[in-house]
Amino acid sequence: MQLLARRYDTGRLAQFEVRDGRVRSVRDCEEEPAPRDPCWIAPGLVDIQINGYGGQEFSSLELTPEKVAAIVREHERFGVTALCPTLTTQADDVLLHGLAMIARACESSPAVERAVVGIHVEGPYISTEDGPRGAHPREHCRAPDWGHFRRFQEAAGGRIALVTLSPEYDEAPDFIARATASGVRVALGHTGADSQQIHRAVDAGARLSTHLGNGAHRQLRRHPNYLWDQLGEDRLAASLIVDGHHLPPEVVRTFVRAKSAERIVLVSDVSGLAGLPAGRYVSSGCELEILPDGRLVIAGQDQLLAGASRPIGDGIVNVMRFAGVDLRAAIEMASTQPASLLGKECGGLRPGDVADWILFRLVPAERPTSLEVVATLRAGEVVYGAID
């Protein structure tokens, strides 16, 4: 396959040749007048926090392997070539079922197996406090327990790659050390932990802050507090939901400057209700509402967000606008950096790289406000859209 596109990293036109799912050759091309400028090409997006889509969610007793495959296909429309299906705090039987169904989907479908780079378990080892707990049900929040987690990992067929927990529990450092030794990445989130607890967690191996700035108390002590502690810890990368609702532009700009662009990971945290029209819905026993502006909130409580409804591409253009980063940095926050965090291979534009790509246009071309996906390719195969 031959493909002409504009590189996201240099802005130059290039001719790509793909064979057996990998880049065989790359040749820079001279700029020539054309009826329409070629689209951009970049590594496929890697979203490590996806809860579902279109009324289907991973944390559900109704999940089937077919529904897992359908959710994966939906996200291909947004340029996502790799993802972490994310399960949130629920009763054990719900989580065990969801994990088993994802494992079965991977075993029965090579396409799903290729797309799922690991499972993210966000809870149940999180704070019981209002604020940090977010929309997670209090009755299922608990201290981390290695034997308990091993049941999850067994149900998942060893596919859990990331676990988000609160380090406020005495059991957290030992759990983090065990998880890290087993190859599972540990993130801190939904926490009211103090400085000492956060530092102990990082010393034990935690390497990410999950959706930093969210899942927090509505009012915090000026200093010290768990936001400053995580921002100032260079061993922690930070995932951010930059959908225009979860974090104000000034906060995004401050977080990116404090962490540096290289330690930021964009996530969608997209809910199973994403893609549905505005209205009230019941999800995991909780009544939620999608507002006309796209915010997903606990019904009747407009300021309490309960996940997101916008795809990760919105985060790319928003972080460019809010933090002043260039296209290359924004794309890598949503592709190579999350893949590197998990130790997974990602699409690339060099000879030998796997041809997991997104082809897209920025609209408008100057100061873009949206990213329009033209095509999504996985291992050189078009899985969404079309190429000329």
Position with higher pLDDT, 367 vs 122: 122
347-379 burial code (b ≥16 CB/10 A, e <16): bbbeeebbbbbbbbbbeeeeebeebebbbbbbb
* Beta bridge pairs of residue 182: none
Q: Are 19 and 142 within one domain?
A: no
Full domain range(s) for residue 133: 43-342
Q: How many domains does the chain have?
A: 2
Q: Are 359 and 280 within one domain?
A: no
Separation of alpha carbons 71 and 52, rounded Å: 6
Q: Exposed (0-12), middle (13-18) or buried (19+): which is 308, by Cβ within 10 Å?
A: buried
Phi-psi label, residue 10: left if phi above 0, alpha if psi -120 to 50, beta otherwise: alpha
Helices 92-108 and 146-155 cross at an angle (nearest 10°) of: 40
Backbone phi and psi for residue 308, each to the nearest 5 degrees, phi listed first: -125, 165
Using an 8 Å Cβ cutoff, are 91 and 138 in contact?
Answer: no
Looking at residue 388, its pLDDT comes to 78
| Residue 245 pLDDT grade (very low, low, confident, very high; cuts 50, 70, 90) | very high
Q: Are 48 and 37 within one domain?
A: no
Q: What share of the chain is helix, strand, coil (3-state, %, to 5)?
A: 30, 30, 45
- Choose the weakest-confidence range: 24-28, 36-40, 79-83, 232-236: 36-40
| Residue 371 pLDDT grade (very low, low, confident, very high; cuts 50, 70, 90) | very high
Looking at residue 262, its pLDDT comes to 98
Question: What integer is the mean pLDDT of 78-86?
Answer: 99
Q: Are 262 and 219 within one domain?
A: yes
Q: Are 137 and 211 within one domain?
A: yes
Q: What angle do CA 82, 341, 375 make, to 5 degrees?
A: 25
Q: What is the CATH number of the domain that holds 378?
A: 2.30.40.10
Q: Are 255 and 316 within one domain?
A: yes
| Residue 301 pLDDT grade (very low, low, confident, very high; cuts 50, 70, 90) | confident
Separation of alpha carbons 20 and 1, rounded Å: 10
pLDDT per position as a tens digit, 103-134:
999 999 999 999 999 999 999 999 999 999 99
Question: What integer is the mean pLDDT of 276-289?
Answer: 89
* Beta bridge pairs of residue 5: 14
Q: Are 237 and 366 within one domain?
A: no
Looking at residue 33, its pLDDT comes to 54
Q: What is the CATH number of the domain that holds 291?
A: 3.20.20.140
